[in-house]
């Protein structure tokens, strides 16, 4: 049963029969799909230092965004990279997808490595985003993950898939 529907998100309750035969009711959050992009230039990558209201703090994360209806993930990656960083890429290398939190949501995030970066004049950030684009050496990004300065799950997965 649907209990909420917004522009990009719905929430429902549903009864499941688990593999062991037990019946349970659970809430499922359905935000639709999204993408995350790791823009790489030489030995540096670009991340966002972005304010996130849900945690009331700034966090470091990869550029990312939701897939619009009728849009393919690679089209979203192209659009979101421009919107959030002001850069476009010659190449987007698909790196698979992840379930960021499958305990309560069916969201999939498609991961991309973006290379061949150049400035883009069609740069327009959404009015609800507070973002600073930061250029960080790859070694520092890995250290930031190890020491807890990067805590965003999609960014950690993306770095692991793109940089090993």
| Residue 63 Rama label (left phi>0; alpha psi -120 to 50; beta) | beta
Which pair of structure tokens corresponds to residue 91?
């190449």
Residue 127's pLDDT band (cuts 50, 70, 90): confident
pTM (predicted TM-score):
0.91
Q: So where are the chain's domains?
A: 1-30, 33-163
Distance between CA atoms of 82 and 115, rounded to whole angstroms?
13
Tens of pLDDT, residue by residue over 2-34, are 999 998 889 999 999 999 999 999 999 999 999
* Nearest residue to 35 via CA among 66, 8, 61, 59: 66
In the predicted structure, residue 126 carries a pLDDT above the cut 90: no
Which pair of structure tokens corresponds to residue 111?
């991961």
In the predicted structure, residue 125 carries a pLDDT above the cut 70: no
Dihedral angle sign, alpha carbons of residues 153, 79, 83, 94: positive
Distance between CA atoms of 11 and 102, rounded to whole angstroms?
14
Q: What is the CATH number of domain 33-163?
A: 3.90.79.10
**Given this model, what pLDDT does residue 72 score?**
97
Average pLDDT, the chain: 94
Tens of pLDDT, residue by residue over 85-117, are 999 999 999 999 999 999 999 999 999 999 999
In the predicted structure, residue 84 carries a pLDDT above the cut 80: yes
């Amino acid at each position: 049963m649907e209990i909420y529907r917004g522009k990009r998100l719905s929430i429902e309750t549903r009864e499941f029969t688990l593999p062991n035969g037990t019946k349970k009711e659970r809430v499922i959050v359905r935000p639709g799909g999204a993408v995350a992009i790791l823009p790489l230039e030489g030995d540096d990558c670009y991340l966002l230092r972005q304010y996130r209201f849900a945690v009331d703090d700034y966090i470091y994360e990869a550029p990312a965004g939701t897939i619009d209806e009728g849009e393919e993930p690679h089209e979203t990656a192209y659009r979101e990279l421009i919107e959030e960083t002001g850069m476009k890429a010659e190449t987007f290398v698909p790196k698979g997808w992840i379930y960021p939190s499958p305990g309560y949501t069916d969201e999939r995030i498609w991961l991309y490595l973006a290379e061949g970066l150049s400035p883009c004049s069609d740069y327009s950030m959404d009015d609800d985003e507070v973002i600073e684009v930061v250029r960080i050496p790859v070694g520092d990004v890995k250290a930031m993950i190890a020491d807890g300065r990067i805590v965003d799950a999609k960014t950690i997965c993306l770095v692991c898939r793109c940089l090993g």
